């Protein structure tokens, strides 16, 4: 059974940094895509970043240059380093997994989801 457990969220002032982690278990595929999504209050969930089993990464324009997605295969952990945080980054952040190479960072592509971790950025 696949489990994704996020951690690392919290409250931070604008300009600050946070690192989110996603512990992954029960997910063993040679080709896969891991992603981070977020859902701001009152808005739809959106894709933030993704990383494939080949290490290829992609980002939504609003976080390019500020966020970095990475993975530690030995620790079965996905990370999202978030720098220069802005109030607009306030959201519930979710990690997600798909057992195939990255095609699109959209909800329907990912079949496995964590419960989320809250990030709040104050101005």
- Tens of pLDDT, residue by residue over 90-117, are 999 999 999 999 988 999 999 999 999 9
- Average confidence score pLDDT of the chain: 96
What pLDDT was estimated at residue 104?
87
- For residue 58, the surrounding DSSP H or E stretch is strand 57-59
Of residues 40, 30, 43, the one with CA closest to residue 101: 30
């Amino acid at each position: 059974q696949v489990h994704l457990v996020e951690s690392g969220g919290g409250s931070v002032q604008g300009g600050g940094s946070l690192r989110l982690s996603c512990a992954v278990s029960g997910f063993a595929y040679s080709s896969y895509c891991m992603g981070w999504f977020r859902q701001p209050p009152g808005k739809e969930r959106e894709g933030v970043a993704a990383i494939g089993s080949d290490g290829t990464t992609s980002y939504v324009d609003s976080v390019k240059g500020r966020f970095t997605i990475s993975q530690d295969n030995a620790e079965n952990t996905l990370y999202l380093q978030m720098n220069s945080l802005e109030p607009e980054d306030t959201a519930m952040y979710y990690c997600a997994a798909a057992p195939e190479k990255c095609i699109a960072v959209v909800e329907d592509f990912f079949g496995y989801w964590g419960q989320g971790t809250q990030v709040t950025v104050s101005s």
